[in-house]
């Protein structure tokens, strides 16, 4: 009996095993499950919506093609993150430029209102949007290694050890990068007058 | 001064119980490290405000009939469709005609036929077999085919053996059948590709419409702001005039 028919979500490992057996639908379930985190990672690393979407799609295509070589020695998500980061690194090298803080200049109040939490006023929402833009600018100026460590820790909840494995660096280096990155962010936001 | 790595581990609550106890003891005595912890936590709170834009990244892997996954949005589809249309158009313009009869295989183009039926010989020079390089090549091919047909019989490959004993009419019928099947297959493929192109165009159009709507809204907002500012200036001028 199909597990999903019973309403029980299959684990990544189960879906990977079925995908390796040629079940494309199982792989598409993995795509559905992970496309947004992967897109978010790519967007925050390279800062461009369209390019981040391309990186996201390329990540899954590469993963699908290389599925036979994935032996499950790491988590599937870690494997995807690695592919994504490699593609982002290629993008930065190819474009020969640092990530940019791309954010729409105009503020659409109707669009904003639809995003607001029930307890959040439009003014608070606008302030949050402004803060997000300031964060994006500061993050874009961080060195790649600090930015990547912060993104993986803050937005993807990886442990120090998982980040160290992904970035092929010692655990202590990860902590140092996080410390330095957070310190710079704090200082620059204060200087920009957007510190709360 | 406290160990920075330990501070970070404390901020992210990713440390052993012994280390936590050690740093908490230290923090009770060290105001500088307390400030540091407060600053790092503040930066973390601010980082939460950075959210990526919502983007429709909904796509699926589709297994191609040849086994290799491809993007459905690949420009290759567009190029293939364009090439097919171009070939079809070229064939229509050139009026290509492939015929198999007692004289063998004949390939003719509309230019030759039009020339043959032209009713104004003064304006259009009838094409003879050697008038153009193309016709010369056709003539050469024709000569070569006749040579081959008149050559003594030799052992034939397996594929050819299957046609032995068939009448010309039967061969012609089979060739026509194959051509019809091929044409039908190409029409189906073209329809699929055109549908994909239409989907692409539709998606792009929707995205453009959203962009246009956003821009219009933005312009409207600017105009409203200008109007309000203008009104404020006029009010101020009126107040000043009244005061005087």
Query: pLDDT tens across A101-134, in order?
Result: 554 444 454 555 555 566 667 777 777 778 888 9
Q: Which pLDDT belongs to residue A113?
A: 55
pLDDT digits (tens, 9 = 90+) for B13-56: 999 999 999 999 999 999 999 999 999 999 999 998 888 887 66
Q: Which pLDDT belongs to residue B128?
A: 40
Distance from CA of B191 to the nearest CA of A (A): 25
* pLDDT of A62 higher than 90: yes
Contact list, B62 vs chain A (CB under 8 Å): 24
* pLDDT of B146 higher than 80: no
Q: Note whether B93 and B110 are within 8 A (CB).
A: yes
For the record, the structure tokens of B206 come out as: 């929707």
pLDDT digits (tens, 9 = 90+) for B168-202: 788 888 888 888 888 888 888 888 888 888 888 88
Q: Which pLDDT belongs to residue B97?
A: 52
* B53 backbone dihedrals φ, ψ, rounded to 5°: -65, 145
Please say whether the structural domain A7-100 has been given the CATH code 3.40.50.300. no
Q: Which pLDDT belongs to residue B178?
A: 87
List b or e across A8-20, with b for residues whose CB sees 16 or more CB atoms inside 10 angstroms.
eebebeebbebbb
DSSP conformational letter for B62? B
The model's confidence at residue B3, banded by pLDDT at 50, 70 and 90, is: confident
Domain definitions of chain A by residue range: 7-100, 121-191
- Among A56-65, B106-115, B210-219, the minimum mean pLDDT is found in B106-115
- Which pTM was predicted? 0.54
Q: Note whether B91 and B102 are within 8 A (CB).
A: no
Q: How far is CA B222 from CA B33, B134, B211, B227, in A?
A: 48, 66, 17, 9
- What burial class does residue B84 get, using C-beta atoms within 10 Å of its C-beta: 0-12 exposed, 13-18 middle, 19+ buried? middle
The CATH number fitting domain A121-191, selected from 3.30.450.40, 3.40.640.10, 1.10.10.10, 3.40.50.620: 1.10.10.10
Q: Which pLDDT belongs to residue B81?
A: 63
Most confident region among A127-136, A185-194, B8-17, B86-95 by mean pLDDT: B8-17
Using CB atoms, which residue from A57, A136, A178 is nearest to B50?
Answer: A136
Contact list, A40 vs chain B (CB under 8 Å): 52
A185 contacts B43? CB cut-off 8 A: yes
B8 contacts A182? CB cut-off 8 A: yes
Q: Which pLDDT belongs to residue B121?
A: 38
* B1 in contact with A, Cβ within 8 Å: no
Distance from CA of A40 to the nearest CA of B (A): 6
Q: Between B37 and B98, whose confidence is greater? A: B37
* pLDDT of B116 higher than 50: no
* B46 in contact with A, Cβ within 8 Å: yes
Query: CB-based contacts of A133: which residues, under 8 Å, 6+ apart?
Result: A101, A103
Q: Between A3 and B210, whose confidence is greater? A: B210
A195 contacts B39? CB cut-off 8 A: no
Q: Between B142 and B192, whose confidence is greater? A: B192
Mean pLDDT of chain B: 72
Q: Between A23 and B91, whose confidence is greater? A: A23
Which of B36, B50, B56, B216 to probe by mutation at the A interface, max A CB count within 10 Å? B50
A175 contacts B50? CB cut-off 8 A: no
* Chain B residue nearest residue A153, CA to CA: B12
Which of B56, B57, B211 to probe by mutation at the A interface, max A CB count within 10 Å? B57
- The rounded distance, in Å, linking the Cα atoms of B58 and B54 is 11
Using CB atoms, which residue from A35, A57, A129 is nearest to B71?
Answer: A57
A106 contacts B217? CB cut-off 8 A: yes
* pLDDT of A82 higher than 60: yes
* B35 in contact with A, Cβ within 8 Å: no
Q: Which pLDDT belongs to residue B49?
A: 87
The model's confidence at residue A93, banded by pLDDT at 50, 70 and 90, is: confident
Mean pLDDT of chain A: 85
Using CB atoms, which residue from B57, B62, B221 is nearest to A36?
Answer: B57
The ipTM of this complex is 0.80
Distance from CA of A135 to the nearest CA of B (A): 6
Contact list, A131 vs chain B (CB under 8 Å): 46, 49-50
């Amino acid at each position: 009996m199909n597990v999903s028919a019973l309403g029980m979500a299959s684990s990544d490992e189960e879906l990977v095993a079925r995908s390796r057996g040629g079940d494309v639908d199982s792989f598409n379930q993995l795509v559905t499950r992970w496309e947004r985190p992967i897109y978010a990672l790519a967007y925050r690393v390279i800062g461009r919506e369209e390019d981040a979407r391309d990186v996201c799609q390329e990540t899954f295509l590469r993963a699908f093609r290389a599925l036979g070589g994935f032996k499950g020695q790491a988590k599937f998500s870690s494997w995807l993150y690695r592919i994504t980061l490699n593609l982002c690194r290629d993008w930065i090298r190819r474009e020969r430029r640092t990530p940019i803080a791309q954010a729409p200049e105009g503020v659409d109040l109707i669009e904003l209102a639809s995003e607001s939490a029930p307890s959040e006023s439009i003014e608070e929402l606008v302030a949050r949007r402004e803060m997000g833009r300031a964060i994006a600018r500061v993050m874009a100026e961080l060195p790649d290694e600090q930015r990547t460590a912060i993104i993986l820790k803050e937005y993807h909840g990886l442990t120090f050890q998982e980040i160290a494995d992904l970035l092929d660096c010692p655990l202590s280096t990860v902590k140092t990068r996080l410390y330095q990155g957070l310190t710079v962010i704090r200082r620059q936001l204060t200087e920009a007058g957007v510190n709360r | 001064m406290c160990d920075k790595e330990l501070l970070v581990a404390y901020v992210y609550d990713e440390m052993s119980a012994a280390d936590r106890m050690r740093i908490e003891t230290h923090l009770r005595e060290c105001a500088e490290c307390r400030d540091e912890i407060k600053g790092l936590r503040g930066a973390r709170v601010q980082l939460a405000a950075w959210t990526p834009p919502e983007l429709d990244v909904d796509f699926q892997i589709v297994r191609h009939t040849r086994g290799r996954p491809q993007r459905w949005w690949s420009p290759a589809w567009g190029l293939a469709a364009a090439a097919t249309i171009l070939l079809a158009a070229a064939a229509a313009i050139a009026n290509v005609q492939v015929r198999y009869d007692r004289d063998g295989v004949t390939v003719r183009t509309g230019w030759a036929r039009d020339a043959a039926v032209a009713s104004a010989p003064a304006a259009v020079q009838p094409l003879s077999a050697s008038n153009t390089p193309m016709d010369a090549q056709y003539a050469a091919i024709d000569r070569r085919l006749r040579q081959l047909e008149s050559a003594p019989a030799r052992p034939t490959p397996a594929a050819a053996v299957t046609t032995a004993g068939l009448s010309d009419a039967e061969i012609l019928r089979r060739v026509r059948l194959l051509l019809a099947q091929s044409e039908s297959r190409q029409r189906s493929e073209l329809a699929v590709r055109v549908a994909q192109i239409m989907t692409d165009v539709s998606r792009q159009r929707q995205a453009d419409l959203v962009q246009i709507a956003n821009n219009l809204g933005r312009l409207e907002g600017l105009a409203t702001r200008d109007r309000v500012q203008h009104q404020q200036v006029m009010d101020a001028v009126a107040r000043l005039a009244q005061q005087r």
